[in-house]
Amino acid sequence: MSSRVFGGPEKEEEGEEEEEEEEEEEEERVNPTDVKMSQIVMPCHSNPRQELSVGQLLKWIDSTACLSAERHAGSPCVTASMDDIHFEHTIRVGQVVNIKAKVNRAFNTSMEVGIQVSCEDLFSDRHWKVCDAYATFVTQRTNTGKKVILKTVVPHTQREQVEYSVAAERRRVRMLHDDIIKDLLSHGSIQQADSSAEGSAVAAEKTKVESVELVLPPHANHQVNTFGGQIMAWMVNVATIAASRLCQAHPTLRTIDMFTFRGPSQVGDRLLLRAIVNNAFKNSIEVGVRAEAYQGEGPNRHINSAFMTFEVLDDHGKPRTLPRIRPEPLEGERRFQEAIARKKIRLDRKYIISRKQGEVPLSVPWDPRNQVYLSYNNVSALKMLAARKNWRLSSEKDKVRLYTLEQKSMLSIRVESEVDVPAQRAFCLLAELSNRPSWDTHYQNCELIYPVDDDDFLYRVVTPSVHQGGVGSSNSACQGEGVLQDFILLASNRKPCGSGDPYVIALRSVSLPTHPPTEGYHRGEVLCAGFTILETKNNMSLISYYNQASPEVLPYISTDIAGLSSSFYHTFCSCSQYLTRKRLQSIPFMQTGQNPDSSTDSPTCEADRLSAALCSTQL
């Protein structure tokens, strides 16, 4: 992520983003939940650096998202939570903020709203992205106490389909967020404070801030509750003061971690806001903020807690080195350690989720503490690939269809056919990856390394490989006899989250320190592969297989698409026969690492040769 202060991105980066956006704009339509807001930044909206205050921006974001949610629900809604927000750029006085919000998906009584924030310079006619955000809104009960059940969101464009599909995976990450922190702390992987820097370190108690705000009618929303955006703005204010006390400068807010509103606040409440620096790293500061509400002599009610990361920028817009912090005993030590855990999570998210496809290395190191983000990346990448609209039909034989999709330096392949097997049964059979060698000759061996949880598994797969002399040689399969290729794969299996959702089996490469590359095997990498299985009429299922070919095999694929079609056709027929044969047999849906079957129809010699050349493109 960029951390420039003034102005937009360079033209090269801007051009890449615009190319992707233009594809989406071609199929834009009026979404009934679309809400747009444009605001010019006035001096009253700015901080001491003449930049838009993040607190003010959060008010506008929350207002826009709430209006979108209520447009879909047709009833009052409140903010339940906000996912992590990373602010890529700041916005100067005189520039225009453009905010777009729309409902991505509805889950019974809650919905995810996607928000895009961009900046516009009126004098140069430049536009650039500031941040993306995802907020969860819930409907309020009716006057009779009944829940408002939300209608289903129907995606129409490619972009809407992607957001709709991936929203289910983001919801899964939200639910696991607190468990990830607890897991990091319980494994004892958190370092202690640096005792050598204690002499020059700033005592954490010096950064403490406590402030009380009286909730007045102007601070309330149209439901007479304290406006969520206003609470967030007050929290940003005290957090900024705490960070300033440490660095003795005006800091820049870069990240707000995922947070949840735990309860409502009303007009007349006193809102008690507390902030303190939890930890100071080389170039960033984490500040913890807690908001509580009370009235009169009543007890304090916990409204919200948030963690915000600040930087201090020099005259060139680069982060400055910051003083160290000396935590308070007991509670201060706990906050100090948890801040390190949260930093680890932020780096994992940035490294894994923000990673562009095609970057090298493809195999991100797997770790129990980054598993949830690797799994998210795995499933969302497959869902985004499946949602693409511009697939081209390359061949069809006996209702087995092969599609291709060209994207810059990548070629993606989709093979699909309808099978007379119920979708749930097909999912259970195909998710048992250890049985794949029984129907796919490209899988010589598939060993279960580790069952991560009920839905995610780590495997080592051995396949034929090309000769080291070169890809695409007509006799490479024969010359390379005995040279095998292996993969370390993360398999993420997902059942439908709602009607119309497919079953998903997503595969991607990871690296494991316990399984380094070994002599006699060429370590391959899979960028994005897997199955989607959709229930169709008459208890049948539409099975689609996807794979993104690595750039080095593209010239060979383009010159031999007929051989490619033959290879996939035979493999898919073998898969269909396997599913039909196993349809009525009972197999436990457990990863055993055993290969009960070994018989399958062999593809033609030409198909075998081609398959060997397509290292990471097998079905």
What is residue 457's predicted lDDT score, i.e. its pLDDT?
95
- Is residue 357 scored above 70 in pLDDT? no
More confident residue, 105 or 7: 105
- Is residue 390 scored above 90 in pLDDT? no
The torsion angles phi and psi of 132, rounded to 5 degrees, stand at -115, 150
Q: State both tokens at 491.
A: 């398999």
What is residue 566's predicted lDDT score, i.e. its pLDDT?
73
> CB-based burial of residue 588 (10 Å sphere; 0-12 exposed, 13-18 middle, 19+ buried)?
exposed
Residue 500 CB partners (closer than 8 Å, separation 6+): none
| Mean predicted confidence (pLDDT) in 428-454 | 90
What is residue 592's predicted lDDT score, i.e. its pLDDT?
42
- Is residue 101 scored above 90 in pLDDT? yes
Residue 465 CB partners (closer than 8 Å, separation 6+): 480, 483, 484, 485, 521, 522, 524, 612, 615
User: Does residue 612 sit in helix, strand or coil?
Assistant: helix
Closest CA to 231 of 198, 193, 260: 260
pLDDT, tens digit, for every residue of 501-531? 899 999 999 999 999 998 888 888 888 899 9
Contact of 144 with 75, CB cutoff 8 Å: no
**Cα distance between the two ends of the chain:** 34
Q: Is beta strand 270-280 parallel, antiparallel or unpaired with respect to 364-365?
A: unpaired
- Is residue 541 scored above 80 in pLDDT? yes
What is d(CA 353, CA 381) in angstroms, rounded to the nearest whole number? 10
In 257-397, DSSP assigns E strands to 259-260, 270-280, 285-294, 301-311, 325-326, 364-365, 392-397
Single pTM value for the model:
0.80
Q: State both tokens at 427.
A: 């999912």
What is residue 361's predicted lDDT score, i.e. its pLDDT?
52
In the chain, the percentage of residues whose pLDDT exceeds 70 is 80
What is residue 591's predicted lDDT score, i.e. its pLDDT?
44
| Mean predicted confidence (pLDDT) in 325-348 | 86
Q: What distances in angstroms separate CA 522 from CA 447, 463, 467, 468, 513, one per listed residue?
A: 17, 10, 10, 9, 16
What is d(CA 172, CA 531) in angstroms, rounded to the nearest whole number? 20
Instruction: Describe the crossing of helices 228-247 and 54-73 by its angle, rounded to 10 degrees.
Output: 160
> CB-based burial of residue 34 (10 Å sphere; 0-12 exposed, 13-18 middle, 19+ buried)?
middle
Residue/partner pairs of 395-404 with CB below 8 Å, 24 or more apart: 395/561, 395/562, 395/565, 395/569, 397/565, 397/569, 398/569, 398/573, 400/568, 400/569, 400/572, 400/573, 402/564, 402/565, 402/568, 402/569, 404/561
Residue 95 CB partners (closer than 8 Å, separation 6+): 40, 41, 52, 119, 120, 121, 122
User: Does residue 319 sit in helix, strand or coil?
Assistant: strand
Range with lowest mean pLDDT among 39-53, 217-231, 356-370, 436-450: 356-370
More confident residue, 6 or 558: 558
What is d(CA 583, CA 534) in angstroms, rounded to the nearest whole number? 16
| Mean predicted confidence (pLDDT) in 531-536 | 93
What is residue 481's predicted lDDT score, i.e. its pLDDT?
54
Q: Is beta strand 325-326 parallel, antiparallel or unpaired with respect to 202-203?
A: parallel
- Is residue 613 scored above 60 in pLDDT? no
Contact of 153 with 105, CB cutoff 8 Å: yes
Range with lowest mean pLDDT among 464-478, 535-549, 561-575: 464-478
Closest CA to 439 of 573, 311, 594: 573
Q: State both tokens at 185.
A: 């702390």
Q: State both tokens at 278.
A: 């939890």
pLDDT, tens digit, for every residue of 103-152? 999 998 899 999 999 999 999 989 999 999 999 999 988 777 788 889 99
| Mean predicted confidence (pLDDT) in 69-73 | 94
pLDDT, tens digit, for every residue of 263-312? 889 999 999 999 999 999 999 999 999 999 999 888 999 999 999 999 99
What is residue 26's predicted lDDT score, i.e. its pLDDT?
46
* Sign of the Cα pseudo-torsion (170, 176, 182, 184, in order): negative
More confident residue, 364 or 73: 73
- Residue in the structure block whose two tokens are 């005006």: 250
What is d(CA 466, CA 479) in angstroms, rounded to the nearest whole number? 8
User: Does residue 212 sit in helix, strand or coil?
Assistant: strand
- Is residue 491 scored above 80 in pLDDT? yes
What is residue 411's predicted lDDT score, i.e. its pLDDT?
83
What is residue 464's predicted lDDT score, i.e. its pLDDT?
80
Contact of 527 with 508, CB cutoff 8 Å: yes
What is d(CA 224, CA 229) in angstroms, rounded to the nearest whole number? 14
Closest CA to 338 of 314, 307, 301, 369: 307
Q: State both tokens at 172.
A: 């899964």
